[in-house]
Chain A
Amino acid sequence: MRARRAWRLTCLLLALVAVPALGDRTLPPYEPASGLVGSLGSAGSDTLANLMSLWARAFGAYHPAVTVEVQAAGSATAPPALAEGTAELGPMSRAMSGREVDAFRERFGYPPTAVPVAVDAVAVFVHQDNPLRALSLAELDAVFSITRRCGTPRRFTHWGDLGLGGSWRRRPVVAYGRNTASGTHSYFRSEVLCEGDFHPLVNELPGSASVVQAVGASPGAIGYSSLGYQSAGVRPLAISDGAGPAVAPTAENAGSGRYPLARYLYTYVNRPPGRPLAVLEREFFRFIYSREGQRLVLQDGYVPLPAALIAEQREALGL
């Protein structure tokens, strides 16, 4: 209970500090266009599920005749949905892979357009009773991977291997993560495992919230998920990239790029080159890039985009 209150307080403080610092004031407020009718479909990232629904609800309030449907099974479901035309928006928590872009290009003759919509930190959570405070990327690789491509000589299976003593020394590390459809899964794989393979004993759960819940229910557990899913019972670890000191996963550190596992969250759209976006998509992105839209990003525990990037994107999308 106390942990939750402390977390809320941190959030509030951060919001107070971060909102002016991140240029919320400089963003223009949203001016809704009138007379929009139709529906928008979104299929993809589970990390972005909450944020997408928040945006969809707020957008729907401005435009009562527009319905936005949000499906969120994992980032890897976005490219097929865009290619098959079953959704107009493809939220992804990672950039599309070469193969996915190729498959799209084969169908339409041009690549899909990536639109960054928020900044996120992938946090590594442990149970709240766990005394561990920080880990390096190489140590994480030794816990989560079978190939250990980052060069750690052996696999870490017990908390003693990670430097804990006492009753923790002999306790096995039980690792949790996302399933392969998740963009967080592939992001973790390329950033932490040096593109290696996950160990088969790493539990793969079909949702970010389930990962956090599973870690909170098991004292010996460690798991990774988007920072936005933090809840009571778990604590995020500070991460060091080997060279510098360990950095705590806060909105500030993610926004400044000091936290090693910070990343952009994207929404992909199908836009033929040289042609403007479809009316509804255009309006949706206008909303996302407005003061109101980016405020929802903050509300959901993520970090708003830098103002310069937003200006650049508005230009590129012709908003």
Chain B
Amino acid sequence: MSRLAGIRVDRRRRWVDRATSALVGAAGVGVLGTILLMLLYLFWEVTPLLQPAAISYSHSEAAGDGALLPGGRGPDPASPALLAGLETAGLLARPAGPSVRLAGGRAVLVATGDGELLEFGRTSAAPDRPWALFRRLDSGGLPVRWLVAEPQRAVVFALAADGRLQAWHTAAERRLFATRLPRAAGAEAVAVAADGTAFAVRVGETVHHYRVRNPHPEVSFTSLWASAWHPDYPAPARVWQSSPAGAGDEPKLNLAPLALGTFKAALYSMLFAAPLGVLAAVYTAYFMARPLRRVVKPGIELMEAVPTVVLGFIAGLWLAPRVEHALAGVLAAPLVLVAGVVAVGALWSSLPGRWRRRVPLGYRPLLMLPVVALLAWASVAASPLIETACFGGDVSGWLEREFGIAYQQRNALVVGMAMGFAVLPTVFSITEDAIFSVPRGLSDGSLALGATRWQTLTGVVLPTASPGIFSALMIGLGRAIGETMIVLMATGNTPILDVDPFTGLRSLSANIAMEAPESIVGSTHFRVLFLAALLLFAFTFVINTLAELVRQRLRYRYAAG
């Protein structure tokens, strides 16, 4: 009887075990599957960008009296005065072939006799500013007879007398296709549809129509990453301007400023979080008294509970104006703090031993708290003095004179502080765990052999904990790269291309958050935003993979035991 009950219990237990493991397995596979599906979806939305353009014959009809394509655009050559002006300026040396006006007349594409396509554009709207050679496209010696351009996009069709056709996107410097167009030899007129989906030529009394499939001509490696010259811009630049305003203007979708902005924000926040987080963790895990540690550790981990949108809000509206106001003091604070803390430490050790013994070793940081607060307050309060003494009374003016940096109130320094605050608990918590879990026997052994506590820390504990510390830093970096709300709220979202601490930035994630709701589904802008998301995914993936590789290596080298 009792045996039977035992078997029944065993059987039930076995079923529970099976169900639990199935559930756990399903959850794991589900998570992996979801990530994979997300990745697949991102790819799915991005791949149409890579689709090659194509043209195919549609039908022919007898020529009528009207335009070849209703609402389409035929040849629209540059004015002879403009071409003459370009020749006088020495920009156009060779005999000019056909030409076409681009971007509402702010640029012009000229075919030269030897098969090059030269794009000229104006460098400013001011009347006296000269035109410049924007780019040269190599058609491979195509003797161009006709040049037509789409009205909205910078897509140009170059047709030779023998029917050879090339289509280019000028700003992307991308050749969309090169083909021999059937029945188009000896064309007497050409036109392209306003939306770029149809092309037509007239040969004799017949009009031949062609279908063009070309949804995303403006995306190429050049347009996404390299600098390009745009009409009315004073110089070539990497520009993110996703919503064009004027007729003939195209979205400028260069990802370089956004990718750099992402790294810039992550870099400055790690400059703030890495030293503070790691050093605090070393102290908490190794020197601090246990009762104190039981309060401090959860306290710092609680910082993670602050919503990032609140942090961003505080950083943008409260911190940024104050940092601008007391910039000299904020810049001096790290120096003042380090020097002051060392000085107070030296003072402490010169005190008589019986005074010092009153406070146990693990509790001494409590004494340091008022010192740190006082020093921080003093350096901020002394800001006007420092400003007068070192920077001629005006830090931002000094920065502009010495380094040519125009101080922006919403800058990388402020973002670094706010995001550093968000990343710090992660770095601290993982580092602390790594150091605290170094086997007691190792450090005890080292101490027993006569090493000091400091020697034990640097020679035994830190190397053993190094894999953990490294992964703490990497996880912190990964979090900083993906962080959205702080960057969105605390910066001015300026898509600029520099790494100065006193200028703003725009990150990939903040850009997606701002522009995704407005982008037209299926447009190039929409797909480039998905590409940005994929890029973020790739950044995090690469960082985490590298972190794991290095961590394995370190763990192998400093294996405990």
User: Which residues of A are in contact with B by a Cβ distance under 8 Å?
Assistant: 73-74, 76-77, 79-80, 84, 99-100, 103, 146-153, 157, 170, 172, 174, 176, 179-181, 186, 189-190, 193-198, 200-206, 210, 213-214, 217-218, 221
Query: B518 to A195, Cβ gap below 8 A?
Result: no
A-B contact pairs, 10 of them (CB 8 A): A100-B520, A147-B125, A149-B246, A172-B406, A174-B409, A197-B245, A198-B241, A201-B504, A214-B492, A217-B317
The complex places the Cα of A172 from the Cα of B401 at a distance, in Å, of 12
Tell me whether B521 and A189 are in contact (CB under 8 A). Answer: no
Q: Is the CB of A180 within 8 A of B492?
A: no
**Inside 8 A of A206's CB, which chain B residues have their CB?**
488-489, 493, 514
Of all A-B residue pairs in the complex, the 6 with the closest CB atoms, nearest first, are: A203-B492, A76-B518, A195-B246, A147-B232, A217-B321, A181-B518
A172:B407 contact, CB within 8 angstroms:
yes
Beta-carbon contact of A148 and B125 below 8 Å: yes
- In the complex, chain A residues whose CB is within 8 Å of the CB of B491: 203
A221 to B518, CA, bound (A): 27
Asked if A146 and B125 sit within 8 Å, CB to CB, the answer is: no
Q: Which residues of B contact A84 (CB under 8 A)?
A: 521
CB A290 to nearest CB in B, in angstroms, measures 32
Chain A residues near B494 (CB-CB < 8 A) = 200-204
The interface residues of chain A lying within 8 Å CB-to-CB of B519 are 80
B126 nearest in chain A by CB position: A153
- Complexed CA–CA distance, A84 and B519 (Å): 13
Establish whether residues B409 and A186, one from each chain, have CB atoms under 8 Å apart when the complex forms.
Answer: no
Choose among A103, A180, A193, A217 the residue that contacts B243 (Cβ–Cβ < 8 A).
A180
Whether A152 contacts B126 in the complex (CB less than 8 A), given A186-B245, A200-B257, comes out as: yes
| A218:B321 contact, CB within 8 angstroms | yes
B interface, CB within 8 angstroms of A? 124-128, 230-234, 239-243, 245-247, 249, 252, 257, 316-317, 320-321, 324, 396-397, 400, 406-410, 488-489, 491-496, 503-504, 506, 514-515, 517-521
Residue from B240, B316, B408, B515 within 8 A of A181 (CB atoms):
B515
Task: Report how far A247 CA is from B362 CA in the complex, Å.
Answer: 69
Find the residue from B127, B234, B242, B520 having the highest chain A CB count within 10 A. Answer: B520
Whether B232 pairs with A80 at a CB distance below 8 angstroms is: no
Which residues does chain A contribute within 8 Å of B126, judged by CB atoms? 148, 151-153
CB distance from B406 to the nearest CB of A (A): 5
**Which chain A residue shows the least CB distance to B497?**
A200
Task: State the Cβ distance, B319 to closest chain A Cβ, in Å.
Answer: 10
Chain A residues with Cβ under 8 A from B239's Cβ? 197, 200
Q: How far is the CA of A174 from the CA of B396 in the complex (A)?
A: 12
Q: Which residues of B contact A73 (CB under 8 A)?
A: 517-518
B406 engages A197 (CB within 8 Å)? no
CB within 8 A of B396: which of A172, A198, A202?
Answer: A172
Do B515 and A180 touch across chains, with their CB atoms under 8 A apart? yes
Given A77-B517, A148-B126, A201-B494, check contact A213 B245 (CB 8 Å).
no
- Nearest A residue to B247 via CB reads A195
Whole-angstrom CA separation of A99 from B320 in the bound complex: 38
Contacts of B257 in A (CB 8 A): 200
Residues in chain A near residue B128, CB distance under 8 A: 153
For chain B, what secondary structure do more than half of its interface residues adopt (helix, strand, loop), or is it mixed?
loop
- A273–B324 alpha-carbon span in the complex (Å): 56
Tell whether A193 pairs with B245 under 8 Å between CB atoms, given A147-B125, A205-B492. yes
Residues on the A chain within 8 Å of B252, using CB? 197
Contact of B242 among A99, A152, A180 (CB under 8 A): A180
- Contact, CB under 8 Å: A196 / B492: no
The answer on a CB contact under 8 Å between B493 and A150 is no
Contact A197 to B520, CB < 8 A, known contacts A149-B232, A203-B494, A203-B504: no
Question: Closest chain A residue to B242 by CB distance?
Answer: A180
Are A179 and B514 neighbours in the complex by a CB distance under 8 Å?
Answer: yes
Docked pose: A226 CA to B370 CA in angstroms: 47
> Are A214 and B410 neighbours in the complex by a CB distance under 8 Å?
yes
Q: How far is the CA of A236 from the CA of B257 in the complex (A)?
A: 33
Are B410's CB and A80's CB within 8 A?
Answer: no
> CA–CA, A11 to B316, complex, Å?
30
- Please give, as numbers and ranges, the residues of chain B lying within 8 Å of A221 by CB-CB distance: 409
Bound complex: CA of A265 vs CA of B344, how far in Å? 63
Q: When the two chains form their complex, are residues B243 and A76 in contact, meaning their CB atoms are under 8 A apart? A: yes
Also in contact, A176 and B321, with CB within 8 A (given A146-B233, A181-B515): no
Shortest C-beta distance, A177 to chain B (Å), equals: 9
| Nearest CB in chain B: distance from A78 CB, A | 9
A153–B124 Cα distance when bound, in Å, is 8
Q: Can you name the residue of chain A whose Cβ is closest to the Cβ of B520?
A: A103
- Asked whether, in the complex, the Cβ of A80 is within 8 Å of the Cβ of B514, the reply is no
Does the CB pair B125–A151 fall under 8 Å?
yes
Cα–Cα distance between A214 and B127 once the two chains are bound (Å)? 36
Contacts of A174 in B (CB 8 A): 408-409
Instruction: Report chain B residues within 8 Å CB of A186.
Output: 243, 245
**Chain B hits for A200, CB < 8 A:** 239-240, 257, 494-496
Complex CA–CA separation, A195 to B232 (angstroms): 11
Asked if B233 and A147 make an inter-chain contact with CB atoms under 8 angstroms apart, the answer reads: yes
Contacting pair A196 B245 (CB below 8 A): yes
Contact B520 A80 (CB under 8 A): yes
Query: Are B517 and A205 in contact, CB atoms less than 8 angstroms apart?
Result: no
Partner of A204, one of B234, B249, B492, B503: B492
Question: Is the pair A204, B409 in contact by a Cβ cutoff of 8 Å?
Answer: no
Taking the closest CB of chain B, its distance from the CB of A293, in whole angstroms, is 27
Task: State whether A74 touches B517 (Cβ < 8 A).
Answer: yes
What residue in chain B is nearest A170 (Cβ atoms)? B397
Check A196–B246 contact: CB distance below 8 A.
Answer: yes
Shortest C-beta distance, A28 to chain B (Å), equals 37
In the bound complex, do residue A179 and residue B410 qualify as a contact, i.e. CB atoms below 8 Å apart?
Answer: no
Least distance between B10 CB and chain A CB atoms (Å): 55
**Inter-chain contact B241/A197, CB cutoff 8 Å:** yes
Given contacts A80-B518, A149-B232, contact A189 B245 (CB under 8 A): yes
Residues of B within 8 A of A210 (CB): 316-317, 489
Please state if B521 and A80 are interface contacts (CB–CB under 8 Å). Answer: yes
Q: How far is the CB of B507 from chain A (nearest CB, A)?
A: 13
Q: Is the CB of A157 within 8 A of B406?
A: yes
Q: Is the CB of B518 within 8 A of A180?
A: yes
CB pair B492–A176 under 8 Å, yes or no, is yes
Contact B410 A203 (CB under 8 A): yes
Interface contacts beyond A74-B518, A203-B493: sample of 16 additional A-B pairs, CB < 8 Å, sorted by A: A74-B517, A80-B519, A148-B124, A157-B406, A172-B400, A174-B408, A179-B514, A180-B515, A186-B243, A195-B249, A197-B239, A197-B241, A200-B240, A201-B496, A210-B489, A213-B317
A218 touches B245 (CB 8 A): no
Across the interface, which residues of A come within 8 angstroms of B492, CB to CB? 176, 202-205, 214
A99 to B230, alpha carbons, bound, how many Å?
Answer: 22
Which residues from chain A contact B409 at a C-beta distance below 8 Å? 174, 214, 217-218, 221
CA distance A174 to B128 in the complex (A): 28
Residues of A within 8 A of B316 (CB): 210, 214
A78's closest neighbor in chain B, by CB?
B518
Q: Tell me the complex Cα distance, A203–B495, Å.
A: 9
Specify which of B240, B400, B518 lies most central, judged by the most chain A CB atoms within 10 Å of its CB. B518
Q: Which of B233, B245, B249, B396 has the most CB of A within 10 A?
A: B245
Q: Is the CB–CB distance between B495 and A205 below 8 Å?
A: no
How distant is the Cα of A14 from the Cα of B442 in the complex, in angstroms?
Answer: 80
